[in-house]
Amino acid sequence: MLEIRDLTHVYANGTRALDGVTLDVPRGMFGLLGPNGAGKSTLMRTIATLQTPTSGSISFDGLNVIADPEALRRTLGYLPQDFGVYPRVSAYDMLDHMAVLKGIGHAGERRQVVEALLNQVNLWAVRKKALAGFSGGMRQRFGIAQALIGNPRLIIVDEPTAGLDPEERNRFLNLLAEIGENVVVILSTHIVEDVADLCPRMAVLAGGRILLEGAPVALMADARGRVWQKTIDRHELDDHAARHTIISTRLFAGRTVIHVLSDTSPGEGFSHAEGGLEDVYFSTLAAARRAA
C-alpha cells in the first residue's frame, strides 16, 4: 500500500504544483487522471524520490519514502513521460547496462533477466536493433522492460500511451494489465480510456488537488441519470452554455453534441447520456472550475 498524506510542493517561482494531496494506492492498477498542468508529473516525480516535497509524507509498505529514498529506489520501477535512451545502442545492450546499474553484477544472472524481460515485452526479435529505429510503442515497451528490472513492488508510468497508434496502445495496455496483477502500478494520464480499460481504482487530480477518488464502476453509477446529451448547431452553443452546465462538447457529422449535467431533464431535445467515465471526469473538472 502506498500512503500519501497532505503532500504539498511549491516551486521556487511560487507555483503550487501540489496542494495537500492525500491518497491511498492499493496493490493493482491505479489510475491518476488529470489535464495537462494538473500536477500529475510533479506527484509522480515526488513519489519516485526525484524531488523532495515542501511538506507532507509518503510511505510504502511501512517505509518512510521521504526519510529513506534509497530504500524505495531499490523496489521502484519508473517510466517517466520523457524517457531518454542512447539511440545508437541496441535494446539488448541498453537493458544489460541498466541491469548493471540496478545492481545485477553477475553476467549469467543478468543474461537471464534481460532475455526474460525482452520476451515479456515482445521485443526479443528486435533485441539487436538500435533503439533509434524503434517505433513509439516499441520504445514504451522497452521503457517498461527497464522499469521491471529488479522485480519492483511499485511501478510508476507517466503518460505512457500519448502518441501511440491504436494497435500499439492496446499492446501496451495489455502488458500493463499483466504486470499490475501482483504489484502497485500507478498509471498517470490525461487519457480517460486508459483508466477505464485498466484500473479498478482511480483519482482525479487538477490544480494540484485530488478532486475525486474511487472505483470507476461506482463513480459511473453515481453519474448515471445526471448526464444529458443533445445535438445542436454550432451557433446555439452560447445560448445553451448560458442556461445549462455543459461539461463537454464534441463534433459528430458536422454538428455539435453537448453533454449537460443536471438532476432533471434540461428540456426539449435532451436525452440521457451513457454516463461513462469521460462524463465523470469532465463533470468533476467542471465543478472545480465553478467553485474556483
Tens-place pLDDT, residues 38-95: 999 999 999 999 999 999 999 999 999 999 999 998 899 988 877 666 778 999 999 9
For the whole model, what pTM was predicted?
0.86
Q: What is the pLDDT of residue 90?
A: 93
Strands 55-60 and 28-33: unpaired
Does 147 share its domain with 35? yes
- Does residue 286 fall inside a structural domain? no
Residue 187 has pLDDT above 70, yes or no: yes
Does 115 share its domain with 257? no
By CB neighbour count within 10 A (0-12 exposed, 13-18 middle, 19+ buried), where does 250 fall?
exposed
Whether the Cβ atoms of residue 227 and residue 247 lie closer than 8 Å to each other: yes
Q: What is the pLDDT of residue 273?
A: 87
Confidence of residue 182 (pLDDT cuts 50, 70, 90): confident
Q: Residues 42-54: pLDDT tens digits? A: 999 999 999 999 9
**CATH code assigned at 149:** 3.40.50.300
- Does residue 281 fall inside a structural domain? no
CB-based contacts of 266: which residues, under 8 Å, 6+ apart?
A: 228, 230, 243, 244, 260
What's the domain range around 158? 2-215
- How far is it, in rounded angstroms, from Cα 94 to Cα 274? 46
The residue out of 215, 236, 253 marking a domain boundary is 215
Q: What is the pLDDT of residue 177?
A: 86
Which is nearest to 99 in space by CA: 136, 132, 145, 160? Answer: 145
- Does residue 287 fall inside a structural domain? no
- How far is it, in rounded angstroms, from Cα 53 to Cα 42? 9
Does 122 share its domain with 263? no
Whether the Cβ atoms of residue 230 and residue 268 lie closer than 8 Å to each other: no
Which is nearest to 262 in space by CA: 285, 241, 246, 281? Answer: 246
Question: Residue holding cell 499483466?
Answer: 178
Q: What is the mean pLDDT of residues 118-133?
A: 90
**What region does 208 belong to: left with phi over 0, alpha with psi -120 to 50, or beta?**
left
Does 231 share its domain with 163? no
Residue 275 has pLDDT above 80, yes or no: no
- Does residue 200 fall inside a structural domain? yes
By CB neighbour count within 10 A (0-12 exposed, 13-18 middle, 19+ buried), where does 81 fall?
middle
Whether the Cβ atoms of residue 148 and residue 118 lie closer than 8 Å to each other: no
Q: What is the pLDDT of residue 292?
A: 67
Count of domains in the chain?
2
Does 75 share its domain with 169? yes
- Does residue 127 fall inside a structural domain? yes
Q: What is the pLDDT of residue 85?
A: 65
Q: What is the pLDDT of residue 84?
A: 67
- How far is it, in rounded angstroms, from Cα 57 to Cα 37? 22
- Does residue 128 fall inside a structural domain? yes
What percentage of the chain carries pLDDT values higher than 70?
Answer: 98
- Does residue 189 fall inside a structural domain? yes
